[in-house]
């Protein structure tokens, strides 16, 4: 709200967890529960995690959050990443939704979603950081599915199998978080 949308209500306000509304927190928890129950095939790169780490560093370096807040956010992020790592090793999210996780080493930053519901498809693409375009146009969804399948074919499956690759992927992320915390001492 402060950086991307330039909301005047946050212009001179530093980060305070209590400013996050209970409605927004409830919506986030509901979204996480739905995500955990929905089977998915996901393609991640190291940039998937680095974006959030860099945002925390940016806010710390510019004085918008305090060191203890930055450390707390990074610790919570590490817990979330470890949950995802555990889900990847089982191939399931919270024992519900099937979870196929692929690691891609050349995909820099792309947030494209393709939902398939029977024969229907819908594509979602993020833009301007906080906005989403969606389309159910058949030709667009077909092109999106072909694009994603091409990326999967150039990626390594790291859920259920590929323990070495999975450990390397998540260990690098953990090291990056710990290095960020160390820089904030």
Whether residue 63 lies inside any domain: the answer is yes
Whether residue 32 lies inside any domain: the answer is no
E strand spans, 2-89: 40-44
Contact assessment for residue 41 and residue 155, using Cβ atoms and an 8 Å cutoff: no
Which pairs from 27-35 meet CB under 8 Å and 24+ separation? Answer: 35/93, 35/97
- The pLDDT-based confidence of 92 (bands split at 50, 70, 90) is very high
**% pLDDT > 90, the chain:** 63
Residues 14 and 9: their CA atoms lie apart, in Å, by 11
Q: Tell me: do 54 and 141 sit in the same domain.
A: no
pLDDT of residue 48: 85
Q: Tell me: do 76 and 125 sit in the same domain.
A: no
Q: Residue 85 CB: number of other CB atoms within 10 A?
A: 19
Model pLDDT for residues 27-68, shown as the tens digit of each residue: 999 998 888 888 999 999 888 888 899 999 999 999 999 999
Q: Tell me: do 88 and 149 sit in the same domain.
A: no
The distance of Cα 6 from the centroid of its chain, to the nearest Å, equals 23
- The pLDDT-based confidence of 159 (bands split at 50, 70, 90) is very high
Task: Give the total number of structural domains in the chain.
Answer: 2
Q: Tell me: do 97 and 145 sit in the same domain.
A: no
Q: Tell me: do 66 and 123 sit in the same domain.
A: no
Residue 56 domain boundaries: 40-106+159-185
Model pLDDT for residues 35-44, shown as the tens digit of each residue: 888 899 999 9
Burial class (CB in 10 A: 0-12, 13-18, 19+), 71: middle
Strand partners, 34: none
Whether residue 84 lies inside any domain: the answer is yes
Strand partners, 97: 93
Residues 18 and 20: their CA atoms lie apart, in Å, by 5
Q: Tell me: do 90 and 169 sit in the same domain.
A: yes
Q: Tell me: do 144 and 172 sit in the same domain.
A: no
Which position has the higher pLDDT, 17 or 182? Answer: 182
Q: Tell me: do 101 and 116 sit in the same domain.
A: no
Q: Tell me: do 54 and 139 sit in the same domain.
A: no
Whether residue 59 lies inside any domain: the answer is yes
Q: Tell me: do 175 and 114 sit in the same domain.
A: no
Q: Tell me: do 97 and 171 sit in the same domain.
A: yes
Q: Tell me: do 125 and 135 sit in the same domain.
A: yes
Whether residue 26 lies inside any domain: the answer is no
Burial class (CB in 10 A: 0-12, 13-18, 19+), 70: buried
Strand partners, 3: none
Question: CB-based contacts of 66: which residues, under 8 Å, 6+ apart?
Answer: 14, 60
């Amino acid at each position: 709200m402060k950086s991307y949308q330039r909301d005047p209500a946050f212009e001179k306000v530093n980060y305070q967890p209590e400013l996050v509304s209970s409605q927004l927190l409830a919506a986030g928890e509901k979204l996480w529960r739905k995500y955990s129950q929905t089977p998915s095939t996901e393609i991640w790169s190291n940039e998937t995690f680095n974006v959030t780490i860099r945002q925390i560093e940016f806010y710390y370096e510019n004085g918008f959050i305090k060191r203890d807040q930055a450390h707390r956010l990074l610790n919570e992020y590490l817990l979330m990443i470890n949950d995802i790592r555990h889900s990847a090793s089982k191939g399931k999210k919270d024992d519900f939704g099937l979870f196929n996780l692929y690691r891609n080493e050349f995909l820099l930053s792309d947030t494209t979603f393709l939902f398939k519901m029977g024969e229907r498809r819908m594509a979602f693409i993020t833009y301007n950081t906080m906005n989403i375009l969606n389309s159910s146009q058949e030709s667009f969804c077909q092109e999106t599915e072909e694009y994603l399948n091409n990326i999967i074919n150039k990626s390594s499956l790291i859920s259920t199998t590929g323990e070495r690759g999975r450990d390397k992927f998540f260990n690098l992320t953990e090291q990056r978080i710990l290095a960020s915390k160390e820089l904030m001492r």
